[in-house]
Amino acid sequence: MGDPFNEGYDGDGESPVHEVSVSAFRIGATTVTNQEFAEFVDATGYRTESETYGTSAVFHLAVKANTHDILNRVNNVPWWLNIRGADWAHPAGPLSNWADIPDHPVTHVSHNDALAYCQWAGRRLPTEAEWEYAARGGLSGQRYPWGNELHNDAPGETAHNCNIWQGEFPSRNTIDDGYLTTAPATSFRPNGYGLYQTSGNVWEWCSDWFLPKYYKTCHAQGTVEDPQGPTIGRGRVMRGGSYLCHDSYCNRYRLAARSSNTPDSASGNLGFRTVAL
């Protein structure tokens, strides 16, 4: 695990590279989709935290809402707008509907919401170690699930391998990869283990608490067996990057990249995939 290129952010704790052993596990080929989450909601009547709060964050170029529902820009990240009525069922705001994109990843789900879904589905969130092992698809020490170069150069191949930002962030997206926001969960070529979009599209919750110095602790122990993460942290781990990642400000669509958020946080670029019990 970890960043073999020394190109991660210091505060994310992507180094040192260290050896980890994980027991066999089965993980979803895709993130949980809107259709799958709708089945959970229909069966249980569950209300997500975004629905309870009444608002959630939507990327400014994607908003579908009346003016009175656009409440404010989010502090320090002005490309996010706080939208009244934005939630998993209305991912771009109250004038949007999940049923228009049933095969896209569900978004606006907090870590707590993801755990509720897992309990209903008889599954769990992956540990960070499981996530990285599966996301690499058998390619050790590579930058992306398909290799080290972002784009394909071979004649006849699709140039784009993932759904990230193209153009000048955050004002102009050329949409060269075909998507301004989320793409269907099975878009682009899967990795060597059959997993789709472990780079880009939506951030994915893991079960671990996030502590930047944790990798140093693991490295000092030699090969770590089935690490469960630290017992404390400043948030829960998120992996994989999203459709908003761009190397000019958020080069976190690399396989080694890490980030975190508080367990009750949700936004239009955050989802999850699950692991079998």
- State both tokens at 225: 């067996």
Instruction: State residue 98 phi and psi, 5-degree precision.
Output: -60, -30
Reading the block at residue 70, the tokens are 């656009």
CB 12 within 8 A of CB 212: yes
pLDDT in tens, the chain (277 residues): 999 999 999 899 999 999 999 999 999 999 999 999 999 999 999 999 999 999 999 999 999 999 999 999 999 999 999 999 999 999 999 999 999 999 999 999 999 999 999 999 999 999 999 999 999 999 999 999 999 999 876 655 668 999 999 999 999 999 999 999 999 999 999 999 999 999 999 999 999 999 999 999 999 999 999 999 999 998 999 999 999 999 888 999 999 999 999 999 999 999 999 999 9
3-state secondary structure of 209: strand
| H-assigned helices in the chain | 34-44, 49-53, 111-121, 128-136, 214-220
Q: Is the pTM of this model over 0.95?
A: yes
User: What domains lie within the chain, and their CATH numbers?
Assistant: 10-276 (3.90.1580.10)
Nearest to 138 by CA among 193, 199, 195: 193
| Best CA proximity match to 170, nearest among 82, 109, 245, 113 | 245
CA distance 239 to 186: 18
The dihedral built from the CA positions of residue 136, 258, 57 and 111, taken in this order, carries a sign that is: positive
